[in-house]
Amino acid sequence: MSAMLSLAADTPNGEKALSTRIDHLVIAGWTGRDQAAVLAHVRELELLGVRPPRTTPIFYRAASALLTTQAAIEVSGDASSGEAEAVMLILPDGEWIAVGSDHTDRELEKTSVTFSKQLCAKPLGRHVWPYEAVANHWDELMLRSYAIAGGRRRLYQEAPISRLRHPKDLLGAAGPIAAGTAMFCGTVPVIGEIGWADEFEVELEDPVRRRRIGHRYTVCALPVEG
């Protein structure tokens, strides 16, 4: 199944509608540039029961139909959380950059990271940039998220995207990538504890062009009956 997305592209000639189909969804994990820090984090999570990846980085495949630009998602129970990620869209007309949330079930993650990725929808912001508009200053971009719980909004993540591998490096490591692919490019550490929130906001900031793209979504918990 494919995801049909209605996006808004920020181009030199102004904003234009961009309707596209995504046939393949790739979620890159363990994408930090500092390999010593990546391996240390692998060991930390292993102590919490999360199985270590076979390789770093690793590329999880998920159903493209999980992608959504809607303002709400439904999940099972309250053991999931979001995380901000730059998303590269490889389309027939070129490469575009969006911001999304790799919303993941943290309880299932202890059993299978792959299954935990597949369980939750993947929110995606509607506004996208041409990759070439940020290619020359990629490392200056900032990735940020906020968690809203009980009416309180707190900074959940904030770091320069230079902490993560360059998306072109990830594309090269992932093997052949067909047009119609969305790749989530990894995330930065959480400030405080990873956990549930009623809403998440994700944001990608370009301080050079003084622009931002973002997305806010509500998380609706469905009952777990057994």
pLDDT, tens digit (0-9, with 9 covering 90-100), for 157-193? 999 999 999 999 999 999 999 999 999 999 998 999 8
The CATH number covering residue 170 comes to: 3.90.850.10
Question: Which residues, including other chains, have CB under 8 Å from residue 103's CB and lie 6 or more apart?
Answer: 73, 75, 80, 81, 82, 83, 120, 121, 122, 123, 200, 219
Per-residue pLDDT reduced to its tens digit, 27-57: 999 999 998 878 877 776 777 677 788 888 9
Cα(166)–Cα(186) distance, rounded to whole angstroms? Answer: 10
Strands 24-29 and 58-62: antiparallel
Q: Which of 3, 49, 50, 6 is nearest to 29 (CA)?
A: 50
The number of distinct structural domains making up the chain is 1
> Which residue did the predictor score with more confidence, 44 or 129?
129
Residue 16 lies in a domain: no
Asked whether the beta carbons of 133 and 209 are under 8 A apart, the reply is: yes
Q: Residue 44 is part of which domain span?
A: 3-10+21-222
Residue 15 lies in a domain: no
Per-residue pLDDT reduced to its tens digit, 99-117: 999 999 999 988 998 999 9
Cα(28)–Cα(37) distance, rounded to whole angstroms? Answer: 17
pTM of the model: 0.94
Q: What tokens does 17 get?
A: 């509608």
Residue 192 lies in a domain: yes
Residue 205 lies in a domain: yes
Q: Which of 34, 11, 7, 24 is nearest to 180 (CA)?
A: 24
